[in-house]
Amino acid sequence: MKGVFVHKPDSPYDDVTGEKYHFPKNYLGRVEEIVGDLMVYYEKGERKGDNHYTGCARVKSITADTSRTGHFYAHLDNYIDFDRRVYYRESGGFEKKLVLEDGSINGGVAINAVRLIGDDEFARIINAGLSEEPEWPDRYDENEDDGQPIEGPGTLGFFDFDANQPEIIGAPANRKIIEQLVARKWRDRKFKHHVRQAYNRTCAFTGLRLINGRGRPEVEAAHIRPVEHGGNDWVRNGIALSGTVHWMFDRGLLSLSDDFTILTSRHLNHDVGHLLRPDMKALVPADEMLRPHPLYLSWHRENCFKG
């Protein structure tokens, strides 16, 4: 069974997007039905009705909150941001029990922080949220393992359901959705797409925005906490870096403080100050919800940075 988890950026709950979802006991039964399956985030805006689906993840387990009686954590993995915020009323609405046929909202459903949805509803949300092609496709020399170029229609967007998924409802489509959502190469391209957009194709450490002759940006998307070490594909676990700087960041020769001051390792053989921004402050997005999360910056400093 798929689910919808309601979230607010200023929530008093102990949430971390894509990592853990904090909820009271009255939703425990519903969350238990979703364990091992997928959920989508439903973000409530400051204004009434300004609600959007923003990303999806897998619910892997539930544990009790030992510091707060009657509360639990849903632990998540395989999180990925949507290409865009999907308005909940778009195309007549996605959740049948939430947006009724006459367009009205079922208030009894709307107040629930955790909602169960069917595979067909989930598929429509995913198709709306993950079908954008990149503004800046990969270079022609970036190949798959089989030596074939990865460019071309449909390599980054989700599924063209009309052309390829005539039987979207039911197990066959559900299997294909799950297979693509966990495919590492596809997720890497999506992550790169989202991080490049957030940073406007500009390296956060150098301030350079280099574009090649075909209009493709040089900047890469670095995971702050690598996927192989428990990181996810949330844009806040990413930062846009040029190739050389990315290499140094991954090897712990550069890092970032919580106030976005660039940190250099004493193990650097040469002064790299000429490569970095003169004020040693990283360029980060104006939107705080796109900036590197302190949780991941702390992990990088403690586990990767060779101070």
Residue 234 has pLDDT above 50, yes or no: yes
The answer to whether 88 touches 43, Cβ cutoff 8 Å, is no
Q: What band does 116 get if pLDDT is binned at 50, 70 and 90?
A: very high
Percent of the chain topping pLDDT 90? 69
Q: What is the predicted pLDDT for the residue at 134? A: 65
Mean pLDDT, to the nearest integer, of 144-158? 42
Mean pLDDT, to the nearest integer, of 23-40? 97
If DSSP codes are grouped into helix, strand and coil, which group holds residue 146?
Answer: coil
- Count CB-CB contacts under 10 A for residue 93: 18
Tell me the per-residue pLDDT of 173-214, one tens digit each, with 9 for 90 and over.
566 677 778 888 889 999 999 999 999 999 999 999 987 766
Q: What is the predicted pLDDT for the residue at 217? A: 78
Between CA 132 and CA 110 the distance in angstroms is: 28
Q: CATH classification of 2-129, choosing from 3.60.70.12, 3.40.30.160, 3.40.50.2300, 3.10.590.10?
A: 3.10.590.10
Residue 53 has pLDDT above 60, yes or no: yes
Lowest mean pLDDT among 17-26, 139-148, 296-305: 139-148
Q: Determine the Cα angle at 10 with ends 297 and 105, to 5°.
A: 130
* Domain coordinates in residue numbering, the chain: 2-129, 192-303
Mean pLDDT, to the nearest integer, of 144-148? 41
pTM score: 0.82
Q: Specify the DSSP class assigned to residue 92.
A: G
Q: What is the secondary structure of 222-261 as a DSSP string?
A: EESS-GGGT--B-GGGEEEE-HHHHHHHHTTSEEE-TT-B
Between CA 67 and CA 87 the distance in angstroms is: 35
Q: What is the predicted pLDDT for the residue at 168? A: 33
Q: Which two tokens stand for residue 185?
A: 């190469």
| Residue 63 CB-half CA count within 13 A | 8
* Maximum distance among all Cα pairs of the chain, rounded to whole angstroms: 67
